[in-house]
Amino acid sequence: MTSVVGADADSDGRNVSDVVGVLVLGACAGWPLISAAGRDGRPEGVLLAVLAVAAGYAAGRMSGALLPVAAPCAGALAGLGRACALPQTAPGAQVTTPLGQAGAVAALLALATGGACCAAWATPVPALRRGLRLLAAGIALSGAVLGSAAGCVASTAVLLCSLAAGRIRHRGAGVAGLALAAAVVTGTVLAVAANVLPAGLVSALEGPLDARRVRLWRDALLLARRNTALGVGPGRFGEVGGAASDALAPDGKPHSALLQQAAEQGLVGGLLLAAAFCWLLYALWRSPRTTPVALTAGAALTALAVLAAVGDALSFTTVPAGAGLLAGLATARPWATAAPGG
């Protein structure tokens, strides 16, 4: 009887997370249209990203139920292949660091590492598990080959978190830790943009971040403060941002997902982006998969959140699609382990 009650509770929790996901993604799709009204905004990019997350999540739920080991492994290989091809897709100014596609490459490598580690935890075969972990290590090392230091560091962090996840008994503590890490990075970005940190600390951060990026962040925060309600309109930062008009950002983006949302869609846009991340962590907390699988996916998504907070990773459709796919894989209930009759 206890197991039946527990199964019903898990099912209720998953239903709640699914409903929350529909509401959050629906709001993320609807608000850009409201923000764009009367401001000559271009919400197509945001809508495409939301669609990519939803499609990836649905595909992950289905493929993860059918192929709990093969699907994340295939996703990891696809992510690695895409990361290797990405720097050659649009040669020119956007490829160069610290702005441009470097963040997308790093994000894809982190997600690919998370997929390989999830597959490793899902298989009961020791030899296959070791092979998949070697694949994850190879993906992390490929960051150095591709010249992506951020990708190498992010992928290594995901791999280490995945190994540590096997020792964590209560996933709630792990999920809370991931949320705290993302909040600390986000708070630091906002503090740098607001110029409220001590001068010495700001100087130390401007080195790895690059002064141009910091100027873009401050422009975005200034626009967000002046247009708190609706923002300047989706896709319009490059038209009204001071640093962008000086050709510091040839792609017209502030290179921080949160600050771009706040500048272009106002306070609500920034809150919706944070809500989407919190929903993914909540879905992983309620996931029927084992704790190591859920926390591994959470670590990869947190690495993506960090990269998106300081870069332009989410502007490449492959990245939000990969994030949705990984989250779907880590929240799917494999049919082979489902209880008969429910």
Average pLDDT on 11-19 reads 77
Average pLDDT on 323-336 reads 93
Higher pLDDT, 123 or 5: 123
**What band does 339 get if pLDDT is binned at 50, 70 and 90?**
very low
| Helices (H), ranges, the chain | 2-36, 44-66, 70-85, 102-122, 126-145, 149-165, 171-194, 199-209, 211-226, 237-240, 242-245, 257-285, 291-310, 318-331
pTM, to two decimals: 0.91
Higher pLDDT, 17 or 3: 17
Peptide bond into 98 cis (omega under 30): yes
pLDDT in tens, 252-303: 788 899 999 999 999 999 999 999 999 999 999 999 999 999 999 999 999 9
pLDDT of residue 96: 41
Specify the residue for token string 């239903």: 15
Out of 122-136, 240-254, 306-320, pick the least confident.
Answer: 240-254
Average pLDDT on 227-249 reads 74
pLDDT of residue 265: 95
Backbone angles phi, psi at 216, to 5 degrees: -65, -40
Average pLDDT on 317-335 reads 95
pLDDT in tens, 77-136: 999 999 998 764 444 334 344 445 678 999 999 999 999 999 999 999 999 999 999 999
pLDDT of residue 241: 63
CA distance 128 to 120: 7
pLDDT at 68 over 90: yes
Higher pLDDT, 185 or 97: 185
Cα-based angle 124, 130, 131 (whole degrees, multiple of 5): 105
pLDDT of residue 97: 45
HSE-CB at 166 with a 13 A cutoff on CA atoms is 9
- R_g of the chain, CA atoms, integer Å: 20
CA distance 154 to 304: 8
pLDDT of residue 51: 97
pLDDT of residue 87: 60
Mean pLDDT of the chain: 87
pLDDT at 52 over 60: yes
CA distance 262 to 272: 10
